[in-house]
Structure 1
Amino acid sequence: MPGSGKTTVGRELAKRLGRRFVDCDHELEARTGVKIPTIFEIEGEEGFRRRETQTLEALTEESDLVLATGGGAVTRAENRSLLAERGVVIYLNVTPQVLWERTRHDRTRPLLQVPDPKGRLQELYVARDPLYREVAHVVVEGGRGTPHAMVRTIEKELQTLCAL
């Protein structure tokens, strides 16, 4: 979800694992030369999602990286398949209340530029939570503790997965 800590936690996890970190949204902007809000304005959400899928397809072909996807990447079945089949998916589950507290002053998130962003976050959470859980290999309860503590939890989960 937007504001769940994907970039912060992903960056630290990559550092600890000795891997490259990539934020899919930043990569999409670098490849297109256009900011995401502008893509939404010109092409709408569907145009953005199409570009996001192309970026995810390329990134998931790479190895030895930690990838933070955009919060809505899971809304497309093809993205869920790419992620689940080509990597280990970690879902940072954060309550809508905490997400709102983290994002309420952020004007760069197109889906939250509505009259009731708190309500919108609740709607997005209800719609997306089952999709995140469908694709996740690991679910980490976020919003509690520091990003460092979340990274330690993820490392333990990854060790357990690798031992299977």
Structure 2
Amino acid sequence: MSDSAEEAPSRIPWPPILYLIAVAVSAALSYAVPLPWLGPPLSDLLFAVGWLLVVATILMDIAAIRALRRANTTINPTKVADHLVTGGPYAFSRNPLYLGNTALMFAIGMIAGALWFFVFGILAAYLTQKLAIEPEERHLALRFGKRYRDYQKKVRRWF
């Protein structure tokens, strides 16, 4: 039997699956069962904020991926982490990529004027926490011990 610190946190890449399903269901429900949305000028403001959030999310995702690559560790949630990354966006969120996925759901909702993206963004975030983040945290605690536990005390899970 292998050492559990050498095992991947998950066999299934849950985050991309969950968020793709959330986008598809949100889009389908927004078309089939549209929920009320705010009128102008608030809807116009949210449209603009949504696009700003898209840009911010893309920049955060790029920074997070670069931090992982610089540390020569995996971005794949089904692989063993080689190094603990605590710099860049990881200095303010232990999960900036998952935070970015959720922010992108909210941004799409603001741009499209569709509340379903908020509902399923929250659901996808909850399921990501249960199916991906918590197993990853156990994996990192086993793999990096005190260094990871100290990092957990300093940096919040989401933001």
Superposition TM-score, scaled by structure 2 size: 0.29
Superposition TM-score, scaled by structure 1 size: 0.28
Q: From the CA coordinates, give the structure whose radius of gyration is larger.
A: 2
| Larger RCO, structure (CA 8 Å, separation 6 or more) | 2
Q: Which structure carries more helix by proportion? A: 2
